[in-house]
Amino acid sequence: MKNHSSNNEIKKQISHIALIMDGNGRWASSRGLPRFKGHAQGLKTLRKLLRDLKDSKLEYLTLFTFSIDNWKRPKEETSKLMQLLRKFISNDLSELHSNNVRIRVIGSRREIPKDIVDLINGAELLTVNNTGLYLQIAFNYSGRQEIINATKKIAIASSKGEIDPNKINNTIFESNLYSAGVPDPDLIIRTGSEKRISNFLLWQLSYSEVYFEECLWPDFDKNKLDIAISDYKSRSRRFGNVLNEYR
């Protein structure tokens, strides 16, 4: 449960950042390269950012890596994206584990190739006891589907008499989300100049601050992250309340 008692703390506290890493395809196209090259460069950007965050105080980082809607893209591109996930887990898992990073992948696993599901399960199991950065990866993810899935689970439990419908509240609902146990993001950053949420963490982002970064994801770096965090710290998070300076 977040503590909203101190306005000063609300302004400065940040423990969870969510990233929509947009612009890989446009980055490649602007250079006359196939879209896959942009995704590959985006992975390099992510790898460097995670290394730069190794000694930071950030507790949670959620990445939107692949949407359920991305299956609508050409098969060649989605196949390349699957290859990149294989590469990320196979090549980077050891380093992330040694840096005490805990990995959790949220989203549906039904459409994902079995070998990738096995890699995901192995990464989560290996890092489950790590106490450093909590890296939550939204892969084959849909915010609407997450809410529907949670609703179905609660409805089934209610039909079995395990939950009193009249006692369903935020805590019960959130415990049935993919992200159960992870606090809501303080700040969401979207790169690539687009200004929308794109079906990402629809429940969890209710009171998150939003920052839109003009640069494409492959050009993002720790300096741009620090600028976004600085902007966040200049804001007043009111959570529907009215702070004294506005009364």
Active-site positions read 22, 70
**Residue whose C-alpha is closest to residue 188's, from 198, 178, 177, 180:** 198
Q: What residues contact 53, with CB distance under 8 A and at least 6 apart?
A: 61, 133, 222
Q: How far is CA 69 from CA 33, 91, 131, in A?
A: 23, 27, 33
Rounded Cα–Cα distance for residues 171 and 122 (Å)? 29
3-state class of 102 per DSSP? strand
Q: Please, are residues 59 and 16 in contact by the beta-carbon 8 Å criterion?
A: yes
Q: Which residue has the tokens 């098969």?
A: 75
How is residue 192 written in tokens?
Answer: 């690539």
Count other Cβ atoms within 10 Å, centred on residue 75. 8
DSSP state of 185: P
Rounded Cα–Cα distance for residues 82 and 71 (Å)? 11
Rounded Cα–Cα distance for residues 13 and 126 (Å)? 30
How is residue 193 written in tokens?
Answer: 């100049």
